[in-house]
Chain A
Amino acid sequence: MTKQEHNEQMKTVRLVWGYLRHNLMSAMAYRGAFFLQVAGMLLNDAMLLFFWWVLFNRLPTLQGWDLAGVMTLYGIVAFGFGAATVVCGNAFLVARVITSGDLDYYLALPADPLVHLLVSRMSLPGWGDLLFGLVVFLVAAPDRWVSLPLFLLLGLLAGVILVGFSVLVGSLAFWVGNADQLAAQAINALVTFGLYPVEIFPGVVRVLLYTLIPAAFVGSIPAGLLSDFDWGRLAALVAFTAGIALAARWVFRWGLRRYESGNLVMVRG
């Protein structure tokens, strides 16, 4: 790495850190609303587990999954989702930012436009997801403290995949114009499928969940690694995560070359 590249990277790290701090501080200005949203999301996520609790009261296992397994799966997806939306609060809004012409603001500044766009917003309920993921893992996993570092790593990888996928589908807006709804539905599909063990789906759908909507990489594969660790599968997951992140970066840059300004004039404080 050259010295210049190193400086660039340090600049990006400082940018991300600065936004995190700044966004958290501005959330703290309305402390009541912040804590209400975090607590609300915690409760919200916990109630989603109700379905599995009732179902596993009737059935002991489902294709090898039991309640603790599904809880771990929820833990990873929720932690990843929380991390993604706390750090990159604009990840799910890429298409909207592109179509509305708000991108101009980021292009005019020296920081990397994609990184800057992603981190400039923080989702406050995301903190609730993050916390829920951690708590549900600690409750469900049998060897919780030993596997906590692995859980954190897998959760962060899930978060990177979520952001990468969101940037990919959001970048569609460079080509098809109003891709806002389409991107939202694709992200929704990723999260929805991610929350179910991939083994319950028939073969054709399962292929889709490893490819077009890579939900297996967000939920089932990392949850499987926690119960049955294997270096090979972890390496494959890391490789996939790096691949989708690089693809997202590349597609966004490619789209940016086609981008025409919306000529939106506004003042930002």
Chain B
Amino acid sequence: MARYGFVLWTAARQQLAYRAELAMRAIQMVLFMGVFIALWTTAFGASGQAELEGYRLAEMVWYLAMTETITLSSSRVFIEISEAVKAGNLAYTLTRPLSYPFFQVANSLGNSIPRFALNLLTAVAVVGLGMGWLPVLSPSVPSASLRTSSLGMNSAEGAGSLRGLLAFLWMAALALLLDSLIAVLIGLLAFWIEEVTPVFWIYQKLLFTVGGLFLPLEMFPDWLRRVAGWLPFQFITYVPARAFVAFEPGFVLRAMAGQIAYVVMFSALVVFVWRRAQRRLVVHGG
């Protein structure tokens, strides 16, 4: 485990070395959040309602800030893996005292963490300026002023409660782990198909849609919401963001159990696929 921790730490430090590139990524967040604030302000205005499916305007925008924070920090490790498979560089990694796919999971998480921190700060700054600060982020507002969420559960705390933020951070960590496992699986597909990028696009768009990146699952038609509820994608984007805007212990526990179940399932799948892949690997002298 310590070895994987070291890989993660090294990858994170590598990211910090390219500060200009990190800053450029922050621009993307500013752009997206600017579009969302404009779009939803118009949409709420057009609907003439204060709430859409339990979300007020500020909650909707904070929800999107959190889903974007996770998605913009998500793994691109499939590129490195598929290139290594195609170029045959994989042979060198076999002699290392680490399992290659889990080495890549640690590598991916190390890449994601600094980006996650920066994206979160940028999103909070943009949305805070555009929509007003949240209780947890503004010390001048006493915590007693936390209003009950409008999402229909009396026990829920409103957007930006301290517990909501902590739950979000935990769930985002599990979400990024799940995401990196899926990215490794996509990368390993290079053993069977020539080009894996289209598979990644589809995965990414599944996050956009049934994962709840652009819209909370509550907005979906009922049948689609039921389908999305069983899929792994909502555990990456929807559930952490939802916990942030409406903290509710029951929801958080159920959702985290779901995240862990999918992490275990995808880890097993990675082990299985890697075994099959090794059988297809032909190492020539070189």
Contacts and interface: CB of A to CB of B under 8 A. Distances in A.
Interface in B33-56: 34-35, 38-39, 42-43, 46-47, 52-53
Contact of B201 (A41, A55, A188): A41
Interface stretch (B94-102, B155-163, B171-179, B207-215): B207-215
Is the contact region of chain A dominated by helix, strand, or loop, or is it mixed?
A: helix
Interface residues of A, number: 36
Given A37-B195, A55-B215, A192-B31, A200 B39 contact: yes
Interface string B212-224: 0011000111000
Contacts of A39: 198
Nearest to B201: A44
Interface residues of B, number: 35
B208 A36 contact: no
Interface in A109-132: 125
Is the contact region of chain B dominated by helix, strand, or loop, or is it mixed?
A: helix
A201 B20 CA distance: 29
A33 B215 contact: no
A51 B214 contact: yes
Interface string A24-66: 0000001011001101110110011011001101110111000
Interface string A186-205: 00110011001001111001
B208 A48 contact: yes
Contacts of B27: 185
A47 B209 contact: yes
B43 A62 contact: yes
Nearest to B221: A57
A40 B42 contact: no
B10 interface: no
B208 A181 contact: no
Interface of A: 30, 32-33, 36-37, 39-41, 43-44, 47-48, 50-51, 54-55, 57-59, 61-63, 125, 181-182, 185, 188-189, 192-193, 196, 199-202, 205
